[in-house]
Every structure is written in structure tokens, then in C-alpha cells.
Amino acid sequence: MPHITPVSPNPCVPVTRIRGALGDKVLRKSPELFNQGLPTVLAEVLQNARRAGATRVGIELLGEEGRATLAVRDDGHGITDMARLVTFGASAWDERTDLVENAAGMGVFSLASRGVTVRSRGQRVTLSRAVFCGEAEAAVLPDPEMVVGTELLFPVDERAVERAVERACRFYPLPVTLNGRPQPQPGFLEGAEHVVEWQGLRLGVFREVGPKVLDLFDRHRGWDRRLYLNFHGHVVECGAAVALAEVGGPTRNVFVDVVSAPDLRLVLPARNEPIDNDFFRAMRARAERALLEAVALGTTHSLPFDDARRAKAMGIELPSVRIPLTPWRLNTDVTRHRIEELPGPVVLGTPGTEVLLTDALGIEQCSAMNLDLILRGWSDRPRVVVADSRFEGYREYDTLRVVRAISAVATDAEGSDEEFPGSTIRSGSAPQDAEYQVVETLSARLMVAADARKWAQPAVMHEAAVPFFFTDEPSFDGMPSFVVVRGTEPGDLSDALVEGFFAENEDVGNDSSDRQLEAFSAEARDLSRTLLLDGDAATAARIVEHLRNIRWELRSLQKGSIELHIVEDQIGSTIRIVGPSGREVTAIL
């Protein structure tokens, strides 16, 4: 701040003094401080009844829907001075209510646009918008029939009034009836797993679904995204949820029920959001602790390590950790569309073969196919799971061995060995043409590190003969580089190519997914036959494939026959078809 030199007042010059005041505009515009909707009106009316010491509230809906009148009557101590109803910022609440609830004396102005008739303690007055705005006067008349409590009558042109009443009084602390029928009013923290009393608040921890609050805000989902606070029946959204999720387990959320908290401040007049002061921040911090306390009540937990470390720093002793990890599976465009039951999580410490970690996001597609290939033929194979960094820090997790690489060694026709380190990652470089190699023998090796530490040296855990091995990621044409053992069934190789490397192109103008898959499959079969069959066998296989596409036509021949005569001249090949009746048809292809 700039330095300001203090100036002593001149005793000969009068000093002007000012203070805050309300201008006439405030009263004229006072109805606009509230949205005037029925939920807001009901919240204010019910709040006033509670503050007046009522023990029950009766509501009657009179008339037709859309042109009805709502009568709200309580058995509180009533209103002595009707003028206070239209005195903006004035109220007759006792000192404790003013202190604990920060009463503003504006609630009745929520009815300004509707108009309202008030009956209490032998008096009656009808207040219009003009009266609320200070532009007209209202006569206070005797009403000897109204002795106990207060009754408000005001028009409602909304529909579904009964639903609005049910929502308004759902978590209200006093019993409410509508046309004589008791309204359902569950406790706000009913069903909570753990409840903490703190500074005039009750903090309830819910496992999964909490109290029914979403419809109060016309939402259908997302209850776990906000912190909800019940201010004596008026539910307030208070920013982001205070939540704690276990990995593969429940998500817990905190809901707050106000008992008597003078340091809690809500934005006036409607109290639809909190003021972010020291008390509110301390409340959120206490709610965070309550979540960890709830977890500590169980027999096991699956919290991320950071949350467990936070609990330890708070002096909260958690039960033993349960670490569930997702089984690794081949994830491609083809396997993702298969309808199959996914395996459940692998829990560390349960009976079974060794658990190995692998990074599902960082693994290249060639490596994924090679890993899947080596695991398929491994009878007592380990349980390979997807690494989850949230568990890093737990000893049980950090000591797991990790898949680092899959390599291979091949023997060619001349007896020479060649090693293949696995997929080559060309970060920042353009794809190259795929390379294919036919070998005599091929063995794949699974390389694992002793633990999850990055510097641990990998070693061979398992070695097995495989029919093919993928050495480089797909090129421009979508095919990867690979080596394949001579004598391998072409169909086995083509199936692996399709399963592992078909990728649907969703760009505008491309064929449908089925047509793209059909074209890729045909290319894979043709490549496999070319590499693994001699010329005549490959040609015959292609012819058979084409004949399969017209098998319905071939069946019409019944017991006939087809002969194909190949001649090397300009005329071409001759096809001779003999039907069941012996009739012969010839054609030039």
C-alpha cells in the first residue's frame, strides 16, 4: 500500500462523518434478492417456523393445480409485531438464534412477488408486493380465530406442488404433514458408516451412496462430486466432495448435518452456498480425517499408498492392506469386441502362481503379442497383472518382479543364430516398411527384473519355442515385422496378425469396420501363404479361398464337377463345368 501521511484535523473546520446506510432502491428491489421459486419460499417459511419454537408444521394445498393456495401453519410462539415482517433486515429472534444461525431478517421477502396473508396471535395482515417495497400500506386486522402459532396463505401457480413440499421437508427436523398426511423425513445421516461430532456439526461418512439429495438440485447422478450440508432441512452444495476411494473398492463421501455451529457462515439471504472462511476449511480438513477413521474401522483396506501414509501421519492405524491388481490381457481392436467374461482381480497374498507386473500403457503392440504368445503355451505360467502406481510404496507391491522385455533367438537354414531384442520403438521417426523372415527354429525369452525399481537388471525367467515372433511395430500398410518358423500353419500366423494388428480407421470416407477387417484379414492370409507355402500351394489356397466366397453357387451343382485347364497363350484358361445331368459347359477365363 502507498504510504499515507497522517493529517490532523483543523479544529476550525467541521469534520464530515459517514456510515453505512440502506438506500430506497434496496427496499424497492428487495423481492429480487430471492429467486421467488416455490423451493426457496418453502425453505424460508419452514425455517421461520422452526426458529419460532414450533414442534410441528401442517401444510394444506387448497384449490386446483396451477391455481392453488398453500396454507402453512405452525404451533410456534407467533408474531407480536406485524410491522417487522416488512422491515427489511429486522427480526424478533432471540439473541441465541441471531448468534448461532446468523439470522438476517429477510426471509419473508421471498414471498414479495406472490403476496401473502399472515395470521398470528389474533391478528391478520395481507401483504402485496407494493407493501413489501414500501410503496403501499397494509392494514393489520383482528383475527380472534387465530390464537396459537402462525399461518401463512399464499398463491402457488406451479405444478407438482406435492413433490416440492416433500423435497423441502425431507431433512427438516420437525414433523410435517401435507393435507393431513405425514411426510417421509429420514435423518440426513441415516445409514452412515461413521459419524463424528465436531464443533456443532455432525460429519457422516457414507460408503458408496449417501442421502437422497440429487433431485433437490434436479440432477440424476454425480452425488459423489459435491459436498452436501444440511442446514436444518435446507441442503446446501459446498463445493467439491470430500471423498476417499479405495482401489477396486468403495468410494466414501462425507455429508454434513448442522446442529449448532455459529462459526459456519452461509451466503445470505438464501444460504445456497458457504462462505469460505477458516471454519469452513477446518471442517473440510476434519471431514478428510473422518474418512480415514471410517477405513480404520474395517478389517482390510485397498487405499493408495499416499492415503495410507497420510493416515499414518495423523496417527490413524489402518488394518492390513489388500492389493487387488487387474490381470493383464491382450487389448486390441479385435479382442476388445469379444464377448467374454473378464477375470476378477488378482489379490496379492492369495494362493496361486507368482505375480508379475507389466505396464499395460507403456507396452508396445508387438511386445504385447509376444507376451500373449509365450503365456499361452506355459502350463504353470505366472499371473501377469497390470502395474498400478497407486500401490507403489507398499512392500508387498514393491517386491514384485516386473516384466521388462521379451526377446527371441532364431536359427536360419544355414544353422546361424540371430537374436531379436523385441519391438523397436522409433520415437519421432517415420514408420518403415515391414520385414519378414522365415527361420528354422525360434525361441522366445521372458525377461523380468527382480523388483519394481527402475535400475534392477532383467534376467531370463522363461524360454519356450514359439511359431512366430513380432520384431517391429506396424509399418505404413499396417503389418508388423516378424520372423516365422518354416512349416507353421499359414492360418495360425494370419489369425495372429489380425488379432494383434488390425486397427480400425474411423476417418471420414473409409469403409465400415467390417469391410476394413475383411480387407485386412485377406491381406494377412495372402502374406502368410506367400511366406509359408510354395508357389503352387499358395496359388491353390487363394483359389480355394475365392471358391469359398461362392460356395452357395457351387452347391447348386450337387454331384457335378469343375475342371480348370491352364494354357499359356493369349486365349487364357479354360473352365469346364459338368452338371449332374452330364451336360457340359465351357468358358474362357
- DSSP labels for 501-553? H-----STTPPPHHHHHHHHHHHHHHHHHHHHS-HHHHHHHHHHHHHHHTHHH
> What integer pLDDT is reported at residue 310 of this predicted model?
97
Examine the domain organization and report whether 147 and 52 are in the same domain: yes
> What integer pLDDT is reported at residue 541 of this predicted model?
66
* H or E stretch covering 469: strand 468-472
Examine the domain organization and report whether 487 and 419 are in the same domain: yes
Task: Report if residue 18 sits inside a domain.
Answer: no
What are the residues whose beta carbons fall under 8 Å from the beta carbon of 413, sequence distance 6 or more? Answer: 439, 440
Domain end marker among 278, 313, 348: 313
> What integer pLDDT is reported at residue 68 of this predicted model?
93
54: left (phi over 0), alpha (psi -120 to 50) or beta: beta
Distance separating alpha carbons of residues 533 and 490, to the nearest angstrom: 8
Q: What's the mean pLDDT in 91-97?
A: 59
> What integer pLDDT is reported at residue 125 of this predicted model?
95
Examine the domain organization and report whether 370 and 482 are in the same domain: yes
Model confidence at 138: pLDDT above 70: yes
CB 228 within 8 A of CB 283: no
> What integer pLDDT is reported at residue 431 of this predicted model?
46
Domain residues for 355? 335-530
Which has more confidence, 280 or 271? 280
Lowest mean pLDDT among 151-155, 309-313, 543-547: 543-547
Mind listing the pLDDT tens digit for each residue in 184-220?
Answer: 999 999 999 999 999 999 999 999 888 999 888 877 6
The 584-588 sheet, strands edge to edge: 561-565, 574-578, 584-588
Task: Report if residue 524 sits inside a domain.
Answer: yes
Mind listing the pLDDT tens digit for each residue in 423-477?
Answer: 543 433 444 567 899 999 999 999 998 876 566 788 899 999 999 999 988 866 6
The single-letter DSSP state of residue 108 is G
Examine the domain organization and report whether 255 and 373 are in the same domain: no
Examine the domain organization and report whether 410 and 487 are in the same domain: yes
> What integer pLDDT is reported at residue 200 of this predicted model?
95
Task: Report if residue 256 sits inside a domain.
Answer: yes
Examine the domain organization and report whether 131 and 246 are in the same domain: no
What are the residues whose beta carbons fall under 8 Å from the beta carbon of 353, sequence distance 6 or more? Answer: 380, 381, 382, 383
Rg (CA), the chain: 40
Which has more confidence, 334 or 119? 119
Lowest mean pLDDT among 23-37, 361-375, 454-468: 23-37
Examine the domain organization and report whether 456 and 363 are in the same domain: yes
Domain end marker among 123, 157, 182: 182
Model confidence at 360: pLDDT above 50: yes
Task: Report if residue 481 sits inside a domain.
Answer: yes
Task: Report if residue 99 sits inside a domain.
Answer: yes
Examine the domain organization and report whether 101 and 150 are in the same domain: yes
Model confidence at 96: pLDDT above 90: no
Q: What's the mean pLDDT in 225-249?
A: 94
Residue 327 exposure: Cα atoms within 13 Å on the Cβ side: 15
> What integer pLDDT is reported at residue 405 of this predicted model?
87
* Domains identified in the chain, total number: 4
Q: What's the mean pLDDT in 134-158?
A: 94
Phi, psi of 381 (to 5 degrees): -60, 150
Percent of the chain whose pLDDT exceeds 70: 81
- Give the pTM: 0.80
Task: Report if residue 189 sits inside a domain.
Answer: no
Helix (H, G, I), strand (E, B) or coil at 176: strand
Examine the domain organization and report whether 509 and 567 are in the same domain: no
Distance separating alpha carbons of residues 271 and 519, to the nearest angstrom: 64
> What integer pLDDT is reported at residue 535 of this predicted model?
67
Mind listing the pLDDT tens digit for each residue in 406-421?
Answer: 999 999 888 889 998 8
Distance separating alpha carbons of residues 46 and 232, to the nearest angstrom: 9
Q: What is the pLDDT of the chain when averaged over all its residues?
A: 85
Examine the domain organization and report whether 396 and 468 are in the same domain: yes
CB 365 within 8 A of CB 501: yes
Kindly report whether the peptide bond that precedes residue 269 is cis, defined as omega within 30 degrees of 0. Answer: yes
Model confidence at 547: pLDDT above 60: yes
In sequence order, the β-bridge partners of residue 356 are 384, 401
CATH number, residue 44: 3.30.565.10
Cell numbers linked to 250? 468403495
Which has more confidence, 458 or 11? 458
What are the residues whose beta carbons fall under 8 Å from the beta carbon of 568, sequence distance 6 or more? Answer: none
CB 196 within 8 A of CB 189: no
Which of 266-270's residues contact partners 24+ apart within 8 Å by CB, and which partners?
Answer: 266/102, 266/231, 266/236, 268/102, 268/104, 268/106, 269/33, 269/34, 269/104, 269/106, 269/107, 269/109, 269/110, 270/33, 270/34, 270/35, 270/40, 270/43, 270/110
Domain end marker among 135, 160, 182: 182
> What integer pLDDT is reported at residue 377 of this predicted model?
84
Task: Report if residue 15 sits inside a domain.
Answer: no
Helix (H, G, I), strand (E, B) or coil at 15: coil
> What integer pLDDT is reported at residue 429 of this predicted model?
41
In sequence order, the β-bridge partners of residue 445 are 407, 463
Q: What's the mean pLDDT in 254-270?
A: 90
Examine the domain organization and report whether 158 and 222 are in the same domain: no
Task: Report if residue 154 sits inside a domain.
Answer: yes
Examine the domain organization and report whether 70 and 207 are in the same domain: no
3-state secondary structure 54-87: CCCEEEEEEEECCEEEEEEEECCCCCCCHHHHHC
Count CB neighbours of 185 within 10 A.
Answer: 16
Closest CA to 183 of 36, 35, 42: 42
